[in-house]
């Protein structure tokens, strides 16, 4: 178990930066998930940590040891890394036990562990036990389900007692139910073994379920680093908000600025109060970009002071989804009603938002401030 530190890490394959100026410190025993759309630089980052790719600039340290920097470049097998890929990458002609032992048979692996044959067998058994595959050692990969094959890949990564475990979209090839099961399993394993883990995915439920902290990436750059609940509740930009779930990006107009509270209005809806600390430079008349989750949009079909119109409604069992046109606003608002309401397209209503659930998009305010300066 080690810390992992990336400082100013960049990678340019020759067509611009795939990863740009990444700073990240992962604590010992921490689970960090890099989350972002396809092509945002997740795999490149992981491959640089593992040593399969050399950064164009920057420094990476595992524990106290620099593994890549201005004058160092430790080869992958010397970095103390365990890695799991989306494709299980198992040898079809080797048994499960031989596949797992493969992690120990590299020169470096043996050197690190100084193990003889019976010790290898013990380690393999223990690793298979960890992933709940005790007794499967003599089988071949084709005799296992996809989920079991991925467990073998996980055991092979764990058998070397890695300093850091790296996983690249390991569940993408599994069906939904298995994916959820394996996700819980990986989290249990990580918590029990206290291993330092970097997990990459484009799937928000994996990120929310597995991470102590999520790193949200867009086009090779870090957008935000926060624990799951905080990132979900307080996204800095609409990109982060939408990466973690459905979100409405709305504009509020600031009416009054007090020492502790800002009062603002959402078009014809009620006044809302916000924490002044979220928008320290706000002045009356300013537009404030905020995010509101669809479940926090409140719909009142009985209030005669209507300010919105139902565009469409879909009944989904546990919830009803509405697309609402707010009077005078181009972009529709999405709302999720947990009550079974049945208001067809064209129905008038009064829309408001739960003010305790409004999140100021502080990253976008910051961008505006920078734009204003240049
Ligand atoms: N070996 C490579 N040569 C050139 N470009 C690459 C290479 N590997 C990745 N890229 C580019 O770098 C960007 C990031 O890719 P990648 O790290 O695989 O993203 P992700 O894993 O988030 O989908 C993409 O634009 C991709 O095309
Ligand atoms: Mg990838």
> In the listed set 178, 208, 241, which residue is the last one of a domain according to the structure?
241
Closest ligand to the CA of 170: 2
Cβ of 215 below 6 Å from ligand 1 = no
**What is the token pair recorded at 306?**
């209507």
Instruction: Report the alpha-carbon distance of residue 11 to residue 73 in Å, rounded.
Output: 15
- Are 251 and 214 in the same domain? no
CATH of the domain at 270: 2.40.50.140
Which of 222, 241, 260 terminates a domain? The answer is 241
Task: Check pocket membership of 202 for ligand 1, CB cut-off 6 A.
Answer: no
Mean of pLDDT values over 309-334: 92
Q: Is 216 in the pocket of ligand 1 (CB under 6 A)?
A: no
The residue among 98, 90, 21, 9 whose CA lies nearest residue 50 is 9
User: Average pLDDT, stretch 265-272?
Assistant: 84
Lowest mean pLDDT among 228-232, 254-258, 263-267, 297-301: 263-267
**167 and 308 co-located in one domain:** no
Task: Say if ligand 1 is within 6 A of residue 42 CB.
Answer: yes
Distance 44 CA to ligand 2 centre (A): 7
Residue nearest to atom 6 of ligand 1 (CA): 13
List the structure tokens of 20.
Answer: 């740009």
Report the first-to-last Cα separation within the chain, whole angstroms: 45
Say yes or no: CB of residue 237 within 6 Å of ligand 1: no
166 & 290 share domain: no
Our count of domains for the chain comes to: 2
Domain housing 348: 246-373
Ligand number nearest to the C-alpha of 34: 1
Do 212 and 68 lie in one domain? The reply is yes
Residues 235 and 306 in one domain: no
176 lines ligand 1 (CB under 6 A): no
- Nearest CA to 359 out of 226, 268, 258 is that of 226
Q: What is the pLDDT of residues 326-373, one digit of tens each?
A: 998 888 999 999 887 889 999 999 999 999 999 999 988 888 777 777
- Ion ligand 2: residues, CB < 5 A: 42-43
Ligand nearest to C-alpha 37? 1
Residue 121 sits in the same domain as residue 229: yes
* DSSP secondary structure letter of residue 154: H
Co-location of 253 and 237 in the same domain: no
169 within 8 A of 202, measured Cβ to Cβ: yes
Same structural domain for residues 192 and 45?
yes
Per-residue pLDDT averaged across 219-238, rounded? Answer: 96
pLDDT of residue 119: 81
Distance 14 CA to ligand 2 centre (A): 18
CATH number reported for the structural domain that contains residue 96 in this entry: 3.40.50.300
pLDDT band at 88 (very low <50, low <70, confident <90, very high): confident
Instruction: Note whether 212 and 269 are same-domain residues.
Output: no
Does residue 114 share a domain with residue 167?
Answer: yes
Phi-psi region of 273 (alpha: psi -120 to 50; beta: other; left: phi over 0): beta
The closest-lying atom of ligand 1 relative to the alpha carbon of residue 47 is 17
DSSP string, 127-187: HHHHTT-TT-TTS-GGGS-HHHHHHHHHHHHHTT--SEEEEESTTTTS-HHHHHHHHHHHH
125 and 235 fall within a common domain: yes
Strands 31-35 and 213-218: parallel
Average pLDDT across the chain, whole number: 92
Q: Using one digit for the tens of pLDDT, what is the confidence trace for 43-64?
A: 999 999 999 999 999 999 999 9
Give the ligand 1 atom nearest the CA of 14: 4
Ligand closest to CA 41: 1
**Atom of ligand 1 at shortest range from CA of 45:** 17
Among 223, 241, 259, residue at a domain's last position: 241
- Counting from 1 in the atom list of ligand 1, the atom nearest the Cα of 37 is 22
Considering the domain architecture, whether residues 196 and 270 belong to the same structural domain is answered as: no
CA-closest residue to ligand 1 atom 5: 13
With contact defined as beta carbons under 8 Å apart, do 78 and 84 qualify? no
Tell me how far the alpha carbon of residue 169 lies from the centroid of ligand 2, in angstroms: 7
- C-alpha span between 182 and 203 (Å, rounded): 14
């Amino acid at each position: 178990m080690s810390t992992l530190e990336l400082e100013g890490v960049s990678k340019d394959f020759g067509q611009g930066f795939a990863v740009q100026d990444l700073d990240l410190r992962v604590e010992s025993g921490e689970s960090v998930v890099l989350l972002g759309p396809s092509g945002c630089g997740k795999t490149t980052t992981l491959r640089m940590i593992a040593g399969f790719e050399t950064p164009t600039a920057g420094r990476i340290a595992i524990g106290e040891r620099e593994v890549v920097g201005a004058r160092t470049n430790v080869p992958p097998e010397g970095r103390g890394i365990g890695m799991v890929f989306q494709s299980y990458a198992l040898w079809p002609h080797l048994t499960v036990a031989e596949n797992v032992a493969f992690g120990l048979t590299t020169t470096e692996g043996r050197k690190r562990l100084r193990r003889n044959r019976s010790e290898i067998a013990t380690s393999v058994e223990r690793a298979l036990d960890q992933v709940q595959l005790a007794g499967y050692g003599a089988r071949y990969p084709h005799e296992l389900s996809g989920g079991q094959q991925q467990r073998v890949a996980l055991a092979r990564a764990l058998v070397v007692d890695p300093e850091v475990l790296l996983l690249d979209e390991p569940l993408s090839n599994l069906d939904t139910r298995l994916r959820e099961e394996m996700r819980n399993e990986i989290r249990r394993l990580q918590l029990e073994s206290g291993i330092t883990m970097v997990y990459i995915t484009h799937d928000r439920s994996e990120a929310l379920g597995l991470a102590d902290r999520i790193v949200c990436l867009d086009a090779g750059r870090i957008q935000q680093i926060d624990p799951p609940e905080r990132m979900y509740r307080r996204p800095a930009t609409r990109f982060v908000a939408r990466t973690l779930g459905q979100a409405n990006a709305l504009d509020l107009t600031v009416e009054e600025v007090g020492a502790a509270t800002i009062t603002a209005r959402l078009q014809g809806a009620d006044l809302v109060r916000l924490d002044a600390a979220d928008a320290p430079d706000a002045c009356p008349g300013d537009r404030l970009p905020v995010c509101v989750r669809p479940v926090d949009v409140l719909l009142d079909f009985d209030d005669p002071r209507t300010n919105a119109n139902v565009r469409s409604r879909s009944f989904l069992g546990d919830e009803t989804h509405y697309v609402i046109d707010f009077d005078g606003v181009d972009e529709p608002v999405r709302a999720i009603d947990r009550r079974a309401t049945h208001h067809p397209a064209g129905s008038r209503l009064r829309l408001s938002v739960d003010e305790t659930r409004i999140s100021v998009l502080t990253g976008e305010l910051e961008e505006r401030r920078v734009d204003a300066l240049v």
